[in-house]
Amino acid sequence: MVSAFFADAVLFDMDGTLTDSISAVEAAWGKVAEDIGQDPAYVIAATHGKRAIDNLAQFKPHLKEHEMDAAVSEFEETILYYADAFHSRGPSAQFSIPASDSVTPELTPSSSMPSSAAPSFTSAKRPSFATHLDRAIISSVMENSVLDEEEAKYLEPVAKVVAEDTIAAWQLEAASVDRSVRILPGVHAMMNSIPKGHYAVATSGAKTYAHGCMTRVGITPPEVTITADDKRLKRGKPAPDPFLLAAECLGFDAKNCVVFEDSPSGIRAGVASGATVIAVCTSHERAKIENCGAHYIVENMEQVVCKAIETAEGTKLSFTIRV
């Protein structure tokens, strides 16, 4: 069956819609689950398609408001670390165990890696599960022993070795699986068919992660890229706010826009915005998204053709969908 309609602009979700970094994201949330003693499968399922700031507030309620921006940035650097580690561990790559006051577990990327694709490990924050691990070890021993503070200082070298071994193990695990960011089928063709100023990205990822993912697969983040840390947003998906803000910034009514989404929460956000929602089955089985209200469900963007047409009312986007 073929369907056709017109729209003014397109509002893209990012991960799972334009890019696939699901493996890296799930690994990062799995590590958060281990940090807090929760089932990784539960945490991964509960966090999909939602903002990191909302997820961290739920699963790490001890974080104070003024600590949240740093926590989100640290988490998203961890995602990108997972995404890059496999290919950075080329023949000439070496692991380096950081000193106890280092802020990051580092991989020395292969000299063959293009500079534009090289991960910024040196700017990443130390993984949350290793941060202050040596202090935690000392505190735990102090709470369960008769050692005084003077005697406890002799534990510091041992605690540091344990913490460094933990980081080394994390590096090895991160580099053992290819979790690199990939572009999804039909994305380049779709984005190249839409004139500048007629498309935007509205993602549940913060700026570090969103821009990092897109640039890794050759997508230039559009001028209107609404990220989860945008201070203009009061709510994230499944609320429609990200899509409404993106449409407003483009200068169009969301009701005359098309939303591409992959997750249940994102699909619901698109529907709530009033846009025409095209759901792609790139991260979820059709059965898991078919009751979320999407107007069309396709396997991927290769089933959708968009052409820009000049009319008396200005540029319109003509869509043809084969479902």
Q: Is the peptide bond before 98 cis (omega within 30 degrees of 0)?
A: no
For 108-169, the three-class secondary structure string (H helix, E strand, C coil) is ECCCCCCCCCCCCHHHCCCCCCCCCHHHHHHHHHHHCCCCCHHHHHHHHHHHHHHHHHHHHH
> Which amino acid is located at 321 in the chain?
I
Contact 232, 245 (CB under 8 A): yes
Local confidence band at 48 (pLDDT 50, 70, 90 cut-offs): confident
> Which amino acid is located at 5 in the chain?
F
Check residue 16 and give its pLDDT. 94
Check residue 88 and give its pLDDT. 77
Check residue 87 and give its pLDDT. 80
Check residue 322 and give its pLDDT. 93
Q: What is the per-residue DSSP string for 234-270?
A: S--TTSSHHHHHHHHHHTS-GGGEEEEE-SHHHHHHH
Asked if pLDDT for residue 275 goes beyond 70, the answer is: yes
Strand partners, 306: 319
Check residue 96 and give its pLDDT. 47
Check residue 86 and give its pLDDT. 85
Q: In the chain, where does the domain assigned CATH 3.40.50.1000 lie?
A: 2-19+181-322
pLDDT in tens, 173-190: 677 788 999 999 999 999
pLDDT in tens, 76-133: 998 998 898 888 764 444 544 444 343 334 443 333 333 334 333 333 344 444 444 4
Question: Bigger pLDDT: 118 or 323?
Answer: 323
CA dihedral 216, 222, 228, 230 (to 10 degrees): 130
Specify the DSSP element, H or E, that contains 9.
Answer: strand 9-12
Ranges 35-39, 161-165, 261-265: which has the least confidence: 161-165
What does the block give as tokens for 127?
A: 């993984």
Asked if pLDDT for residue 220 goes beyond 60, the answer is: yes
Q: Count the neighbouring beta carbons within 10 Å of the beta carbon of residue 215.
A: 14
Q: What mean pLDDT comes out for the span 239-250?
A: 99
Asked if pLDDT for residue 274 goes beyond 70, the answer is: yes
Check residue 178 and give its pLDDT. 87
Architecture of the domain spanning 2-19+181-322: 3-Layer(aba) Sandwich (3.40)
Write 306-315 long-range contacts (CB < 8 A, 24+): 306/10, 306/190, 306/193, 306/194, 307/193, 308/193, 308/194, 308/195, 308/198, 309/6, 315/195, 315/198
How far out from the chain centre does Cα 64 lie? 22
Specify the DSSP element, H or E, that contains 95.
Answer: strand 94-96
Task: Tell me how far apart the alpha carbons of residues 65 and 55 are, in angstroms, rounded to a whole number.
Answer: 13
Ranges 119-133, 136-150, 199-213, 293-307: which has the least confidence: 119-133
Question: Bigger pLDDT: 236 or 141?
Answer: 236
The average confidence (pLDDT) of the chain is 82
Q: What mean pLDDT comes out for the span 149-159?
A: 56
